[in-house]
Amino acid sequence: MTTPQPRTLYQKIWDDHVIAARPDGACLLWIDRHLIHEVTTPQAFQGLREAGRKVHRPDLTLAVPDHNVPTRFRERGINDPRSAQQLELLETNCEAFGIELIHMNAPDQGIVHVIGPEQGFTLPGVTLVCGDSHTSTHGAFGALAFGIGTSEIEHVFATQTLLSRPSRTMQVHVTGKPGFSITPKDVALAIVSAVGAGGANGHVVEYTGEVIERMSMEGRMTVCNMSIEFGGRAGLIAPDETTFAYLKSRPRAPKGTHWEQAMAFWSGLRTDLDAAYDKIVEVDASAIAPLVTWGTSPDQSAPVTAHVPDPQILPDKARREAACRALDYMDLKPGQPLQEIEIDYVFIGSCTNSRIEDLRAAATVLKAGGISERIQQAIVVPGSGAVKRQAEAEGLDKVFLDAGFEWREPGCSMCLAMNEDKVPVGLRCASTSNRNFEGRQGPGARTHLMSPAMAAAAARRGRLTDVREIVKS
């Protein structure tokens, strides 16, 4: 009898979902869950209409508007005609094709990558796709989750399958003990910096180690969310008791005997002891300080106590040129102390850092004082209606409001310039989102990524600030 080949967690989920394999290596995969929003679906729905097709399994798709929704004055409707049209199209298409829609004004509306886990729609061992690159977030539950394009969305609509090629595997093993005030966002930025912007191209990344195991589900989602920022096709964390405790009693999670059966299956979802990864990266969490980005790519970060780096010390020409372009766009000079960089806007939110744990961390920093007079606008945007209600029940909204922040309705908001929340040209934003690309938060906007606690610290002092100076151990 042949001994089974040891497999990684990714390979197990992949193998369980292959319907057919072609000689060229491409496989037809069954897709268990499909999340959609208003931005990437209109053409896919139109393609179905033109071909005279229906959605094959509408019960496996959930629609949530998030990118274009306003985060204040929703009772007035949507001012931007294009945004209003996109949301109207989503509503019309969902009704026509029998897809469940969580309406913009529904109590449970929010960011799609917050809603999926919160509702129990995201489950261990499933394949989950969405027309959004940060679908990797759901890998925190041991789900194989990745973003897809418009033509692929249409294919999933029509067949509940997807033609895809297997990825290589990467293990990111996080060792050591994080220091005081080091958050999952700092760990994520450290990983992105260590691997490099394209270091995981063609790989599915599995995060391992005691640091990951000790994280809450909110923290794990933050780490998996940023897998795409260093080229990962998806991020994965093996499900465990922390996962099960989070999912139990979620509205769409299995119930009764189905829960017990699911638990028995989920408990076996882990990489075999002798399985080999194509690439292994070690990150020492004890060496991580609170991080901020100085450039226009998430891998361009440094400890807040450091200085803007000199591009000339970088090892290769491409990185030197990229760093020079980034510093020119960000209007920064090599050797400039990061803590001298002044901030104009502060944004706490996004699918990376808008959950209750994130809001608690930021509120802790703000309890001791309000925001600096130089801050032109500071906003907190909860990731969902449920997060917002919980925060209000804990009095966090009052902490933010008393400090000088605006308390908004759920949505993608200032993470990207597709709604009314934008950073003006030339101004700087301390942001808890996942991308600091040129123009990401508005044409000419300059973004510095950091954790919620660090964003709150920047708001307090009006400049990049080491949160450890405010919150003592």
As a whole number, the mean pLDDT across the chain is 96
Residue 193 pLDDT exceeds 90: yes
Q: Which of 69, 47, 55 is nearest to 99 (CA)?
A: 55
- Measure the CA–CA gap between 352 and 358, rounded to whole angstroms: 9
Q: Give backbone dihedrals phi and psi of 448, rounded to 5 degrees, phi first.
A: -115, 115
* pLDDT value of position 95: 98
Query: Using one digit for the tens of pLDDT, what is the confidence trace for 203-212?
Result: 999 999 999 9
Residue 3 pLDDT exceeds 80: no
Residue 4 pLDDT exceeds 90: no
C-beta separation of 239 from 142 below 8 A: yes
Query: Using one digit for the tens of pLDDT, what is the confidence trace for 370-423?
Result: 999 999 999 999 999 999 999 999 999 999 999 999 999 999 999 998 989 999
Tokens of 49: 């209409």
C-beta separation of 433 from 353 below 8 A: yes
Query: Using one digit for the tens of pLDDT, what is the confidence trace for 263-274?
Result: 999 999 999 999
**Domains identified in the chain and CATH numbers:** 9-266 (3.30.499.10), 290-469 (3.30.499.10)
Query: Using one digit for the tens of pLDDT, what is the confidence trace for 89-106?
Result: 999 999 999 999 999 999
Instruction: List all residues 6 or more positions away from 5 whose beta carbon is below 8 Å from its beta carbon.
Output: none
Residue 443 pLDDT exceeds 70: yes
Q: At what angle do helices 150-159 and 42-51 cross, to 10 degrees?
A: 50
Residue 107 pLDDT exceeds 60: yes
* pLDDT more than 90, % of the chain: 95
Residue 77 pLDDT exceeds 90: no
Query: Using one digit for the tens of pLDDT, what is the confidence trace for 303-322?
Result: 999 999 999 998 889 889 99
* pLDDT value of position 408: 98
Partners of 379 in the beta sheet?
347, 406
* pLDDT more than 70, % of the chain: 99
* pLDDT value of position 76: 86
* pLDDT value of position 1: 52
C-beta separation of 415 from 433 below 8 A: yes
Question: Alpha helix (H) ranges present in 331-451?
Answer: 356-366, 385-393, 396-403
- State the average pLDDT over residues 176-194: 97
* pLDDT value of position 430: 98
Instruction: List all residues 6 or more positions away from 274 whose beta carbon is below 8 Å from its beta carbon.
Output: 6
Element (H, E) at 171: strand 168-175
Instruction: Please report which confidence band the pLDDT of residue 473 belongs to, taking 50, 70 and 90 as the band edges.
Output: low
Instruction: Please report which confidence band the pLDDT of residue 472 belongs to, taking 50, 70 and 90 as the band edges.
Output: confident
Instruction: Please report which confidence band the pLDDT of residue 459 belongs to, taking 50, 70 and 90 as the band edges.
Output: very high
